[in-house]
Amino acid sequence: MMNTINMTQSFKKSASHGESYHRESSLPHGLFITFEGIEGSGKTTQIQMLEEVLKKKGIPYITTREPGGTKIAEAIRHILLNPDLKEMRPETELLLYCASRAQHTAELILPALAEGKIVLCDRYFDSTYAYQGAARDLDEELINVLTKFSTYGRNPDLTFLLDLPVEIGLARIKNRNLDRLEQETISFHEKVREQYLSIARKYHSRYIVLKGESQPEEIHRQILASLHTYIGEQND
């Protein structure tokens, strides 16, 4: 049984917003994996399936989410997603996401990576480019600056984008109590989807785009296949 992250393989070049860099392959710097996609695309489902495999293999990992992940960041999440706060300005929304991210990154993500863990994060800064950048039409240059500031310059090593038509994603979650962003219009979510696809093309070296309409088990199999250099084969 394999109980460490395989460090013999180089990490994919992390060419992301703001800066790009190569990582030494022998350092215990963990593996930062983010999951992105519109509402109902299956992010949480896939994270849970991957967690089961990591648990079984005894590979050290943490699972976390944005907005949230720490006490302060979860308190900010509560404000951000509250459907009663419809008067929230896009500017306020952007700053709250970044505030939450700074706390989450410093308090939870960076220490876990420093301990050599795999970090599974449900949404990260690409969500900000998709929702606040494209859908809310806020300035990308400003988001670049705020992103670098609130992430301390650490980019994800790998990002899985679960892509699917907006109608299918929203239909999957229609019986939930929808949060402030989930209640947005179809055209808002279309912009989010298009921006994700455009980010994935631009930063293709860290991106893996998956067809979100496939069966959960099939998507899971594809995720494991792309991680096999780090975590070994499924049945190891």
Ligand X SMILES: Nc1ncnc2c1ncn2[C@@H]1O[C@H](COP(=O)(O)OP(=O)(O)OP(=O)(O)O)[C@@H](O)[C@H]1O
Contacted entry of ligand X, Mg ion, none for residue 83, CB cut-off 5 to 8 Å set by kind: none
Distances (CA, A) of 73 to 39, 79, 226, 232: 20, 10, 30, 33
Could you tell me how many residues of this chain bind Mg ion (CB under 5 A)? 1
Contacted entry of Mg ion, ligand X, none for residue 157, CB cut-off 5 to 8 Å set by kind: none
Smallest distance, Mg ion to C-beta of residue 80, A: 14
CA within 13 Å, CB half, 49: 17
Smallest distance, ligand X to C-beta of residue 217, A: 8
Q: CB nearer to ligand X: give 118 or 161.
A: 161
Residue choice 17, 29, 39, 103 for contact with ligand X (CB under 6 A): 39
DSSP string covering 46-103 = HHHHHHHHHHHHT--EEEEESS-SSHHHHHHHHHHH-TT-TT--HHHHHHHHHHHHHH
Q: Is 144 exposed, middle or buried (0-12, 13-18, 19+ CB in 10 A)?
A: middle
Region binding ligand X by CB under 6 A among candidate stretches 41-49, 72-80, 199-207, 225-233: 41-49
Q: Does 44 bind Mg ion (CB under 5 A)?
A: yes
Tokens of 8: 């013999």
| CA-closest candidate to residue 131, choices 104, 105, 94, 185 | 94
CA 135 to chain centre: 17
Please list every residue from 176 through 215 that binds ligand X, using CB under 6 A. 214-215
Smallest distance, ligand X to C-beta of residue 81, A: 10
Contacted entry of ligand X, Mg ion, none for residue 59, CB cut-off 5 to 8 Å set by kind: none
**What angle do helix axes 90-104 and 71-81 make, rounded to 10 degrees?**
160
Q: CB nearer to ligand X: give 40 or 67.
A: 40
Q: Please give the residue ranges that form the binding site for Mg ion (CB under 5 A).
A: 44
Using CB under 6 A as the criterion, which residues of the chain lie in contact with ligand X when the complex forms?
A: 37, 39-45, 172-173, 214-216, 219
